[in-house]
Amino acid sequence: MKYIYDLHKTMLANNLILIYEGEFTQEITKSVLAMAERNMDSIGEESSIKRKVFNVMVECLQNIVKHSDEISDPSLGKYTAIFMIGKKDEEYIITTGNPIKNDNIDSVKDRLDKINSLDKDGLKTLYKEIIKGTEISEKGGAGLGFVDMARKSGNALEYTFEPMSDDFSFFSLKSTVSRQA
């Protein structure tokens, strides 16, 4: 049972206030958002900060629900997604992770690099371009999620792809929202 203590120490050391690992559905997403909102309410967080954090969380969770790739490799077992939110003195850190097909990495990386290269006005312009010229994909998205995360957080999106097999990697995404209004 030492692992529970080790997990607790890890959560404290990394200022994590909520971790969920498992299947992500719309219902579970609503529950995770409600728990995070209650936590921010309990510490008296400013409403403008809560809105930004909530918006980024929604986009992160929708990204998992709509875009996680199902692993079809029996040697890897069942991999699910993870969501974490942490709070430091000056910022909230929202981190997600989910399996992704290696074939999809380049397009995700290109999109994130483009978004991270833009300033506030550039992000606003890209957002408008996507709204005007994009159709909804079969997964239900128009490609606005990452752009919206960058716009609302005001910070670059950090990411990694950890190889899992020849076909899959684990995609981790971190968004930081300042607690300064």
The DSSP secondary structure of 84-115, one letter per residue, reads: EEEE-SSEEEEEEEEEEEHHHHHHHHHHHHHH
- Which of the pair, 78 or 115, is modelled with greater confidence? 115
Instruction: Tell me what pLDDT residue 86 has.
Output: 94
Instruction: Tell me what pLDDT residue 72 has.
Output: 64
> In percent, how much of the chain has pLDDT > 70?
90
Instruction: Give the pLDDT confidence of 79-93 residue by residue, as tens digits.
Output: 788 999 999 889 999
Mean pLDDT of 64-68: 77
| Overall fold of domain 2-178 | Heat Shock Protein 90 (3.30.565)
Spatial distance between the Cα atoms of 58 and 62, rounded to a whole number of angstroms: 6
Full-model pTM: 0.87
Spatial distance between the Cα atoms of 141 and 66, rounded to a whole number of angstroms: 8
Instruction: Give the pLDDT confidence of 18-51 residue by residue, as tens digits.
Output: 999 988 888 898 999 999 989 899 988 999 999 9
pLDDT tops 90 at residue 75: no
Strands 91-101 and 81-87: antiparallel
Are the C-beta atoms of 52 and 153 separated by less than 8 Å?
yes
- The rounded mean pLDDT for the chain is 88
Strands of the sheet containing 168-178, edge to edge, are 16-22, 81-87, 91-101, 168-178, 158-163
Which residues, at least 6 apart from 107, have a Cβ–Cβ distance to it below 8 Å? none
Residue ranges per domain, the chain?
2-178
pLDDT tops 90 at residue 113: yes
